[in-house]
Amino acid sequence: MTAFGLLPVDTASAVGGWLGRTIGPRLGASRRALRNLRQALPDNSDAENRRIIRGMWDNLGRSVAELPHLETICAAGSQRVEIVNGEDVAALRDRRRPAILFGGHFANWEVGPATIHRLLGPSLLSVFRASNNPWADRVLRRRMPARRAVAKGAEGGRDLIRHLRQGGHVAMLVDQKMNDGIAVPFFGRDAMTAPAIARLALRFDCPIVPVRVERLNGPRFRFTVMPRLELPDGNDTADAVLETMKRVTATIEQWIVARPEQWLWIHKRWPREA
């Protein structure tokens, strides 16, 4: 982080991308990425899958190298993050009623939280997964000092409920596996998925707003606020939760198909035997 921080942001991103696409395809995790690709996009050729995996590692290397520059990239007036439909975020903020925003591990996925925190200010509480490595966790937390954020877990869940009850907004990434979640179809196969976003939205009758981040060129991004998802009829029932999560997951699928090299295919998203 120190070395990348000493470089200009464009240079850091380029070096990180070179390291990622040079080293990453040789790592064992690329075999998992290839299995995931064959499962999710079975019509792809091997050459196309290799291109996607190389692009994924390039994107991941850039994302790591950009972390020390995140504040600069996402600052107002930096012209490195193009905001589409930003007025929809302002409308959410001015309504002073609860809302939930979600994204996934696309492009530099820290750009989304950093940007939405800047736009919504103290009304936003975001959710993060603490790193398994305590040292890495401390480093990453120092990169988001201005954010109001809680870690996944029971205590964080109570904070989320309290925040929504007060009319606040919540943001989370929803594309990772949760072993004790619910089975939701994802590219035609069941994947264990955290249902929290659906349960909270149905409980508080609040909108679910997809927020998409795309890498355009180097450390330049497009941040798009998408139309809110329609909630199914019914209260917080198992059927309503499942239907809501199907709509959330279908949105993630669309983003992956559009830019597959910008998603993190090394997630253990499906059972291996599938």
Q: pLDDT, tens digit, for every residue of 173-228? A: 999 888 888 999 999 999 999 999 999 999 999 999 999 999 999 999 999 999 99
Q: What are phi and psi of 159, to 5 degrees?
A: -65, -40
Which residues, other chains included, contact 74 with Cβ-Cβ below 8 Å and sequence gap of 6+?
80, 81, 111, 114, 115, 118
Q: Which fold has domain 2-262?
A: Glycerol-3-phosphate (1)-acyltransferase (3.40.1130)
pTM above 0.85, yes or no: yes
Joined together, the tokens standing for residue 111 give 């750009």
Domain borders along the chain are: 2-262
Return the ∠ at Cα 231 (arms to 230 and 234), rounded to 5°. Answer: 150
99 beta partners: 169
Segment 222-273, tens digit of pLDDT: 999 999 998 887 677 899 999 999 999 999 999 999 999 999 999 888 876 4
For the chain, the first-to-last Cα distance in angstroms comes to 37
Segment 86-117, tens digit of pLDDT: 898 888 888 878 999 999 999 999 999 889 98
Which residues, other chains included, contact 138 with Cβ-Cβ below 8 Å and sequence gap of 6+?
none
Joined together, the tokens standing for residue 259 give 């830019």
Query: Rounded CA gap, 33 and 93, in Å?
Result: 38
